[in-house]
Structure 1
């Protein structure tokens, strides 16, 4: 019976030893901190991945995220400098940089940290947007607005062991009851701009057509003048050739004969006509000879 009791005690001791050894092991993953507490007080923070030891029964382990966290901020109304209400839908990226301070101030609760983030980031967003007109807010969506909101937060979150990495806006829109009126106004404004561009285009087109017609008229006038000059030159050359031909004694009789025939043809053109010539007429001399 003593042997049995000894065996049982040995088994219990072995089991207790295993439990104590297991309880003394601390496994730290890559994306977390292992915070060691002793009687509620933080005595060590371990961030290196791997297995380490702690004092069993005396020390406890609390896990804190060591990674970038995303928090989707609640939808919130903000008012611009020109008193226009807009609805902001944003999110933040943040991380815990000081686990001990995070535990001391927020009891290591991510939910508590998100509540502080919501309040602080919203106040910065409200102040940033209230200093801009609606048009400036819309045009600053591409990063300038987010950078100014982040700058407005500053190092406020450092007191909680938190770092704000980025503030991003998913939607920055008008309230539903204002959208229709604003869209209609935007459509009207765009219509006025389009009409202005159309009027400018028509004015430019009219100006171009007028200048083109003027250039064409000038070109036609120059062409007509050049044609008249060429005709005059041709007629002058013709008269010169004709004069030279008539002044040639050897061809004078022939040209006289041709001219007489042309004159007779002109006199007899039309209806029934009779040509009367006296014997001494030069034209009669052509037909009858001397």
Structure 2
């Protein structure tokens, strides 16, 4: 019984070893290249379980389909207006032809070497055609950096296609300037912001002037309406007062003259008033004690108390 068991175990071991040497799996995120004595004979891109001749007759190389990231070290470039800029960029790339990739670059390190040369050359050529003011600006209508990077990506993708991979995107991680350029760049940015601030202040002043003009117009309308209404009310009141005065004058002329004179006294005479008038002035007839008996019979008022000095030409 033991020899049979040993034989079965041997057969199972040989079967497992054979499966290990001949079966292989391809994941959805990778390419598989089958090589026979070092020469590629088959490329597989669909996921699944496959069979091959055992090593060392046939071997399997796997290459990732996933997007890779390459970081370009900080490099100094020259803009079209001869300004030095320091750029640190990154690129995303992906293998599109596994067989061409294996023949031309062979590995990720080889792809990084090619990317470094291509991206550096294309970035230098593109940035050399753009002025610094269009790379660093707060005016989005003048900014040309996005279009420049898109052009660099397209040219780099065209050049890397022959190596079996393509560049999918290029972006800047940092754009700075050498110390010699920082002062001029900051001054330009300050000038642009001051220009924007002046524009906002001008628009605000214009809007304020428009609001004030509308308010002044409304104020003028309100004052005109109020003036017209007050004039109408004043006219009505004056007419009523004249009617009352006329009625009083018609009933008792002496009393009317007396009351109007007292009103005149009230308007221009106070404790510090000194009047110099002829002795026979009608205005003094109710202030002169000698004329006290001449008060109208219907009046119950007496002469006022202000000090008044009446000098006639005879007294002088």
The normalised TM-score by structure 2 is 0.66
Question: Matches of residues 120-159 of structure 1 in structure 2 within 5 Å?
Answer: 120-138=118-136, 139-141=143-145, 143-159=146-162
Structure 2 gaps, min length 5: 137-142, 263-282, 300-316
Question: Matches of residues 258-273 of structure 1 in structure 2 within 5 Å?
Answer: 258-259=255-256, 261-262=258-259, 267=284, 270=287, 273=289
Shift of 1:226: 5.7
CA deviations 1:174-230 (Å, max 9, x no partner) are 234422442244235534653565477568757876886687578657755764564
Aligned 8 A contact 1:35 1:44 in 2: yes
Shift of 1:260: 6.1
Does residue 66 in structure 1 map to residue 65 in structure 2?
Answer: yes
Structure 1 gaps, min length 5: 247-251
**Cα gap change, 1:26/1:176 in structure 2, threshold over 3 Å: closer, same or farther?**
farther
**Cα gap change, 1:74/1:229 in structure 2, threshold over 3 Å: closer, same or farther?**
same
Match of 2:114 among 113, 116, 121: 116
User: Cα RMSD between the aligned structures?
Assistant: 4.1
* Residue 30 of structure 2: aligned partner: 32
CA deviations 1:132-171 (Å, max 9, x no partner) are 2223224344x43332221222422111111221112222
Aligned 8 A contact 1:260 1:286 in 2: no
CA deviations 1:10-45 (Å, max 9, x no partner) are 999986775454222323233222211112211011
**Cα gap change, 1:35/1:285 in structure 2, threshold over 3 Å: closer, same or farther?**
closer
**Cα gap change, 1:65/1:84 in structure 2, threshold over 3 Å: closer, same or farther?**
same
Count of equivalent residues: 268
* SS of alignment partner, residue 151 of structure 1: helix
Aligned 8 A contact 2:70 2:92 in 1: yes
Distance 2:98 2:203 in 1: 66
* SS of alignment partner, residue 171 of structure 2: strand
The normalised TM-score by structure 1 is 0.72
**Cα gap change, 1:208/1:256 in structure 2, threshold over 3 Å: closer, same or farther?**
same
